[in-house]
Homo-oligomer: A and B are copies of this chain.
Amino acid sequence: MNKIYNPQPETWSTLCKRPTQTFTDVEETVKQIFKEVQTKGDQAIIKYASFFDNVNLEVIQVSAEEIASAKNEISTELKEAIQLAKSNIYNFHQAQKTEKIEIETTIGVTCWQEKRAIQKVGLYIPGGTAPLFSTVLMLAVPAKIAGCKEIVMCTPPDRNGKINPAILYTAELCGVTKLYKVGGIQAIAGMTFGTATIPKVYKIFGPGNQFVTIAKQFASQNGVAIDMPAGPSELLVYADETSNPKFVASDLLSQAEHGKDSQVILVTTNKNLLNDVEEEVYKQLKELPRQEIAQVAINNSKLIYVETEQMALDLINEYGPEHFIVCSKNEDFFVDKIENAGSVFIGNYTPESAGDYASGTNHTLPTNGYSKSYSGVNLDSFLKAMTFQKITQEGIQNIGKAIEVMAEAEGLQAHKNAVTLRLNQK
């Protein structure tokens, strides 16, 4: 682990830099596959499923029978855990519903804002080493609460053409309407253009590797909205002498096991704690099944000592972590003043794992410093705010003159006329 003592503010922008990724090779591949899916539809989907996932698919859509039998393939214990998580996620996202906002800005001029569901959404669930049914919960539950009519999900099958039963069970439980055995670039392209089988959607959600990340960029250039740009997962812990070094180490490791490119940082005002945490990390690391992955991330990780809490806070706001754990005697100071973080975990008994799975908050969060400008996925991600206005004949008399003057000053005579005609109507 890299220990850094008293870094001066002029070095922070370098200290906060994420590894840059170059995508030139990937872009050509993505472009090619998008073009083929757009012109050849399902035929291209099947071709690339064979090419990338080594599977020969005759039917892309998951059948009702496959979903039904998934229920019997997972343990009652896991089903109950998923149901508990779903209930908490449901309650937290349901609480985010907002009422219509209506005001009469001037007498006779009534304006309101209402949120309406995005009608068709696409959820992408990556395959690979871990079956991420937790991500199904995080995306499908708020989509359902929002009232999205069509909730399409794509996830790559294994070599036998099967999808992990926990993913199928969770998708069914959360109200996914259509499920496809398609992964990677071809899945994103399919939901962008639509094929004979896969519906075109209006917004695509979900994490993925660099191929999926670039594919989502292409999707957004082809008229489809995306949840946010993706990047390697991140955790920054601020801890002082009131924290438990064992817990802190376990949190850093839970981030490190995600991938070799995971970003792991400890900031502290206590030098002893810094050393204690380091020692604990190496002790716990030895026991992990994903040790090889975690080791690489830990080698790149940073343990940063700063002299004051204010300094710590400023550095953390400059970094803008995806996940921010704070274990401090002055936790309120950090909680009140943190400006840039995806999700904040407070106190010794609040591990990041809680938010990853079951506390109720969403785990789809902005990485790579995007917490400075992006929200994590929340209920509003599945809704559009629309405005409405209704003006009476009295109302247009009250604001009409101002509109005429402004339209004239902007040189837009027809805008003015639309008001003048109404003002002159007896």
Chain A residues at the B interface, C-beta cutoff of 8 Å: 74, 77-78, 80-82, 84-85, 87-88, 91-92, 95-96, 98, 101, 103, 105-106, 109, 111, 113, 116-120, 129-134, 166, 202-203, 217, 220-221, 223-225, 229, 244, 246-247, 250-251, 253-254, 256-258, 284, 287-290, 294, 335, 338-362, 368-376, 378, 380, 383-393, 395-396, 399, 401-403, 405-407, 409-419, 421-422, 425
Contact = CB atoms under 8 A, between A and B. Distances in A.
Contacts of A371: 384, 386
Nearest to A166: B409
Contacts of A74: 409
A353 B105 contact: no
Given A345-B389, A421-B246, A399 B359 contact: yes
Nearest to A256: B414
A78 B109 contact: no
A254 B406 CA distance: 14
The 10 closest A-B pairs by CB, nearest first: A105-B360, A225-B373, A81-B402, A375-B385, A88-B105, A351-B418, A81-B405, A250-B418, A202-B373, A257-B414
A425 B347 CA distance: 14
**Copies of the polypeptide in the assembly:** 2
A342 B125 CA distance: 30
A263 to B, nearest CB: 15
Given A118-B373, A247-B418, 18 more contacts: A81-B403, A103-B360, A105-B359, A105-B360, A106-B360, A111-B361, A118-B372, A132-B410, A134-B410, A202-B372, A225-B374, A256-B414, A257-B413, A284-B414, A344-B388, A351-B422, A372-B384, A375-B386
Contacts of A405: 77-78, 81
A353 B416 contact: yes
A370 B116 CA distance: 14
A354 B399 contact: yes
Given A352-B418, A396-B349, A343 B254 contact: no
A171 to B, nearest CB: 15
A82 B404 CA distance: 11
A353 B225 contact: no
Given A101-B95, A359-B109, A399-B354, A133 B254 contact: no
A412 B111 contact: no
A352 B416 CA distance: 10
A113 B244 CA distance: 26
Nearest to A371: B384
A407 B353 contact: yes
Contact of A351 (B352, B370, B406, B419): B419
B354 A389 contact: yes
Given A103-B92, A289-B413, A349-B395, A402 B109 contact: no
B344 A362 contact: no
Contact of A88 (B257, B294, B399): B399
A317 to B, nearest CB: 8
B380 A376 contact: no
B133 A414 contact: no
Contacts of A133: 406, 409-410
A118 B372 CA distance: 6
A250 B411 contact: no
Contacts of A388: 335, 343-346
A251 B356 CA distance: 51
B411 A129 contact: yes
Contact of A384 (B373, B391, B399): B373
Contacts of A368: 223
